[in-house]
Structure 1
Amino acid sequence: MTLNNIVIVQSGNEYLLYLENQILVAHIAMPDDKAYIADAKAFDHITKALGARWGVYSSKKKTQKG
């Protein structure tokens, strides 16, 4: 799965986060409670922060002119 230009590979409750050029940027263990929806919400925030830091994420907010 890819979120915010960060590739996420899951193995049980552990997640490896890579840039698209296969550089590992994080190895994260989440609680083993099978709360995958909560994990996905957390990873949205985590990948935005990592993507911004690594220069692969940019918000696509449009400003209104007028």
Structure 2
Amino acid sequence: MPAAIQFSAGKNNKPQVKNIPPLKLEYNMSHSADAILLAVSDSAIGADIEFINQSFGFNEVLVIILV
């Protein structure tokens, strides 16, 4: 029942689900640009999404680092 799900502050004040037996619910959320990724599982889970700007001049940055 969604109304029964409660949140608490976990490690580093990250929101976490207060697990109420038999409910075992873990989640992770990531966002970048206009995209959101939500992963839900019955065990610890990680999720990450990153916008890649195709027009960014990676070569110029690499040349500076390598010189």
User: TM-score normalized by structure 2?
Assistant: 0.29
Structure having the higher helix fraction is 1
Q: Which structure would you say has the larger RCO, counting Cα contacts within 8 Å and 6 or more residues apart?
A: 1
Q: Which has the larger radius of gyration?
A: 2
User: TM-score normalized by structure 1?
Assistant: 0.29
Structure having the higher strand fraction is 2
